[in-house]
Structure 1
């Protein structure tokens, strides 16, 4: 065998091996692409399912929130209508009580504390004791305000209670004078009056009452003014409007949080990657 023959055999062998290598490389590349596509399709299907599940859950939650929101406003509307009726009834009861209150207590302004003994010694005041006795006051104090309590705010209830309790305590004080047990202190310093007003008025207003030594008429007019103004304020629904606005803001925040949910954003990104 010559060198030429040997060279031809080696060249043929290398050529055969080289062809096989090319075939193997081609098959490997094709199989790699096939499996890669299968994996990508599987991932795409997986993330699509997860995304659809998240979207469904989000939509259900969004629908529930919308229903809750609608129910809230419908309930508030019904409550507002009931409260307007309650306000009208409260003012009616207040006027009735004010008009039935014994006018005799105004004489605590006409006379000074040193003259309060006149209520028991002067025949002109003989009818005052009966008009200010405990039974007479109990008969005119409204008994059914608690029925309206669910539709009244606490300030209304407090102001009304302060007014009726003040009138009752002034009657009690005057009645003691009429019965001959005249207190040695002015009605403004009566423990009952102090307790009622200090609990029913802000500290600043109570101090103003004491420092300026309000008369009975000024005090009762002030309390009536406070009740009237407060009822006007809540009748406009300003507080309910504020509450509704705060609710709407919180509802908006919840919806925004759902839309910005990190899990949903990640699923969207993964789906986007697999679709390339």
Structure 2
């Protein structure tokens, strides 16, 4: 009986070893197939996600480029308007006349409107700087208007020459103030434009 049991165990053991080997091989085949299917599925999902994000990235890059171009154009228009304003201010400084005062006042209004139209695209620092420079231009305009009035009615003032000299000195300080502000703005705008490239 012991021999029969040993033969049975031997036969079962060989068959068990064969079954174990077969099941191990079959498990590897199935695992390989499942892994291949999962790899294809994840590769497809990765490709779709990459394509989607590439498309979104292109849309974002297009929007940024459009914004940068628009911002550059707006800065360029503003700078041209500020240059025209500075030229009108220099003309007014050279010789104050009612016509030059009117032309300068109109240019201040035009430039202020241009700044207000650009408010959405300007940085807050540049917007505030431009408003501050325009305030200096307004004060300069008032000073020059006062000088024109003093010179046109010299006998109405008790201190003609003193008032005129004081007005000229004050206007010179205002001119220096807006010139400094414009130079600071020029450097800021140049830096901002350089950062867009």
- Please give the TM-score of this superposition, normalised by the length of structure 1: 0.50
Alpha-carbon distance between aligned partners in 1 of 2:22 and 2:196, rounded to the nearest angstrom: 65
Q: Decide whether the 8 Å contact of 1:137 with 1:168 is kept in 2.
A: no
Deviation at 1:220, TM superposition (A): 1.3
Q: Decide whether the 8 Å contact of 1:141 with 1:164 is kept in 2.
A: yes
Alpha-carbon distance between aligned partners in 2 of 1:82 and 1:53, rounded to the nearest angstrom: 43
**Residue of structure 2 aligned with 1:178, choices 153, 156, 178:** 156
Do residues 238 (structure 1) and 187 (structure 2) align? yes
Judging changes above 3 Å, is the alpha-carbon distance between structure 1 residues 14 and 40 closer, same or farther for their aligned structure 2 residues? Answer: same
Match of 2:29 in 1: 34
Deviation at 1:246, TM superposition (A): 5.1
Match of 1:86 in 2: 81
Deviation at 1:172, TM superposition (A): 7.4
Alpha-carbon distance between aligned partners in 2 of 1:226 and 1:68, rounded to the nearest angstrom: 38
Alpha-carbon distance between aligned partners in 2 of 1:74 and 1:80, rounded to the nearest angstrom: 10
Alpha-carbon distance between aligned partners in 2 of 1:229 and 1:56, rounded to the nearest angstrom: 51
Alpha-carbon distance between aligned partners in 2 of 1:9 and 1:51, rounded to the nearest angstrom: 60
1:48-197 equivalences in 2 (<5 Å): 48-98=43-93, 99-101=95-97, 142-152=105-115, 153-168=130-145, 178=156
Q: Secondary structure at the match of 2:138?
A: helix
Alignment deviations for residues 114-135 of structure 1 (CA, whole Å, 9 cap, x no partner)? xxxxxxxxxxxxxxxxxxxxxx
Q: Which has the higher contact order (CA 8 A, sep 6+)?
A: 1
Deviation at 1:53, TM superposition (A): 2.7
- Please give the TM-score of this superposition, normalised by the length of structure 2: 0.66
Match of 1:261 in 2: none
Deviation at 1:90, TM superposition (A): 0.8
Length, aligned pairs only: 178
Match of 2:179 in 1: 228
Deviation at 1:96, TM superposition (A): 4.7
Alpha-carbon distance between aligned partners in 1 of 2:56 and 2:89, rounded to the nearest angstrom: 48
Identify unmatched segments of 5+ residues in structure 1.
1-5, 103-135, 188-213, 249-276
Identify unmatched segments of 5+ residues in structure 2.
116-129
Q: Secondary structure at the match of 1:91?
A: helix
Answer 1 or 2: which has greater helix percent.
2
Higher radius of gyration, 1 or 2: 1
Aligned Cα root-mean-square deviation (Å): 3.8
